Amino acid sequence: METASGFSPFQLITVLFCAAMILRVASLWRRGRRTSRELIGWILVWGGIGFVGAWPHAADVVGAWLGIKSGANTVVFLALILIGYVAIRSVFLLENLEQKLSELTRRLALKDFPDDERPGQK
Residue 103 falls inside a structural domain: yes
3-state secondary structure of 52: helix
- Work out how many domains the chain is built from and give that number: 1
3-state secondary structure of 69: coil
Domain residue limits at 53: 9-115
Residue 122 falls inside a structural domain: no
In whole angstroms, how large is the CA radius of gyration of the chain? 24
Residue 38 falls inside a structural domain: yes
Residue 54 falls inside a structural domain: yes
pLDDT digits (tens, 9 = 90+) for 41-94: 999 999 999 999 999 999 999 999 999 999 999 999 999 999 999 999 999 999
Residue 22 falls inside a structural domain: yes
Check if the beta carbon of residue 46 is closer than 8 Å to that of residue 16. Answer: no
Nearest residue to 34 via CA among 43, 84, 89, 95 = 43
Q: Which has the higher per-residue pLDDT, 58 or 6?
A: 58
Whether the pLDDT of residue 122 is over 60: the answer is: no
Residue 77 falls inside a structural domain: yes
